[in-house]
Structure 1
Amino acid sequence: MNIAIYCGSSFGNNKIYEEQTKVLAQKLALKNLNIVYGGSLQGLMGIVSNESIRYKNVVIGVITYDLVDKEIENKNITKIYKVNTINQRKEKMEELSDAFITLPGGYGTFEEIFEVLSSTQIGYHKKPCAFYNINGYYDKLIDFLNNCVKEGFIKKDYVDMLIVSDDIDEIIERIINYKAPKNKWQN
């Protein structure tokens, strides 16, 4: 099983993000769950890839040609795909992955997971999507999504389908046992 990891190309301001990213890499390797990620050595991306390599896990990167130099491509990973655009990068990562785990990150991380969530909602795939809620990073986002439900813009099923936890073992277990909701257009 290939797990896409969406995360920051920064480290964040609290060491807990680095520490828990290392825990994630170790736990996924112990379960033989391969990594698909953005191909960089920078920030949490570099930690997840290098820790995964350290644990002898398969690590597949997808990076755009123009980001190869800017993000400093990790040349030690198992396989790297180079593509022309960010859209191609996201498409390739989605194609290669059986599930998605989002760690703390910024706009790029949000864009990646929300595109996958939209695809789930309309039935393009039935893959599990998780938020590794390190240090409560996504608490306010989940509150916002619940407000979207309250205001009638997202169905409750599409917030309930999210796997949200600060416990990576729970996330892995829920990914393995995931059952997707009906897509938005099914009765």
Structure 2
Amino acid sequence: MSKILVLYYSSYGHIEQMAEAVAEGVRASGAEVDIRRVPETAPAEVCAAAGFKTDTAHPVIGSPAELAQYDGIIIGTPTRFGRMSSQMAAYWDTAGGVWAQGLLGGKVGAAFTSTATQHGGQETTLFSVITQMLHFGMTVVGLDYGYTAQMGNDEIVGGAPYGATTIANGDGSRQPSAIDLGGARYLGERVGRTANKLTA
């Protein structure tokens, strides 16, 4: 069976919740999964003033060389003005050696994100992650329309064909809904199943 990494950055816990759901989906596929977070780059006083969530059970990932031991990587990041967070970008900016050696070529990748509003850059943020993956030679899996719950209009829901999403509200008061978490699980299972086939 394949081994999948769920790699995330979360300021307020929304992406952390989504990461847990993604990992549940990976496990449902029969694949192994590790959850890691990228290092915080904001000064401690900024994190405290902004009320960032700092208590988490997930360890910080080590050097980018560790990425090569996985068959798939699912990246979660909140939006920062329509692109991935600086914390996530900073980590990948140190992965030039991994890129130069082609160590992620053919591995499976996927993305998930959160924004304050429905139109707050979900798809462009997902594409910033997908672009990163394609430059590293990865095979990208999206949140296909087999997950029909993302198409409902009866309530505000996350989800896009490019990856799993949630909406947090400007004050962070909205937590991932059952539909949002279901999309994350679906995405994780799709990545796990795809990686299982490619590594068989």
Normalized against structure 2, the TM-score is what? Answer: 0.44
Answer 1 or 2: higher relative contact order, Cα 8 Å, separation at least 6: 2
Structure 1 or 2: larger helix share?
1
